Amino acid sequence: MEAIEPAVAGVDEVGRGPLAGPVVAAAVILDPGDDWSDLRDSKRLSAHRREGLDTRIRASAVAWEIALASAAEIDALNIRQASLLAMQRAVDALKPAPVAVRVDGRDCPRVACPVSAVVGGDDQVPAIAAASIIAKVYRDRIALDLHARYPDYGFDRHRGYPTALHRERLAHHGPCAEHRRSFKPVRAAMARYLPPASGR
């Protein structure tokens, strides 16, 4: 991991691949005086470890924000643009505002300060790793909320990703209000799904 830069925000997003729910972005400014050597890309951490680090980041970071782009915005804009919108919202909400932003991946949102993209940044830049962790924990909680609202789809198991179980439930029940209708598997399910005829 690189050294922590003062007043520089790390940004990452979670949820480009799922068929349902929002894409979630987080922006984090870390204190260089703290020890953040245990930060890693959220995908390399157990759920238990992510939860613990999520609590610590929220309590100890200089600033953090989480922002969303909804399924409807994803359908209207496309997933890339919706992800950039969520990242922009997260950065714009930071207080204090960062002097610069580093983003995981290749795309940079439009923000009011210098911004640079870092491929594999969630394994190199501590603030990006922190952003990936709190975004992942937050989106997993959204998936559990989706499961409570739409229990037929198994969101508690697949978190909205296009697993065999999710595709099967989608084909059987048709899409719910949170499914991304611009995504090919959802469009295909909509074309095949016939709601039960009403009784007379």
Among 162, 178, 184, 199, smallest CA distance to 69 is for 178
Q: Is the pLDDT of residue 199 over 60?
A: no
Residue type present at position 136? K
Q: What is the largest CA-CA distance in the chain?
A: 71
Whole-number Å distance between alpha carbons of 32 and 3: 8
Give exposure, 56-69, as e/b (b: 16+ Cβ within 10 Å). bbeeebbbbbbbbb
SS3 state at 80: helix
Among 3, 7, 10, 25, smallest CA distance to 122 is for 10
**Higher per-residue confidence, 122 vs 194:** 122
Whole-number Å distance between alpha carbons of 16 and 24: 9
Among 149, 154, 156, smallest CA distance to 178 is for 149
Q: Is the pLDDT of residue 79 over 90?
A: yes
**3-state helix vs strand vs coil in the chain, percent to 5:** 45, 15, 40
Class of domain 8-148: alpha beta
pTM for this model (two decimals): 0.93
Domain ranges of the chain: 8-148, 152-192
Q: pLDDT band for 200, please (50, 70, 90 cuts).
A: very low
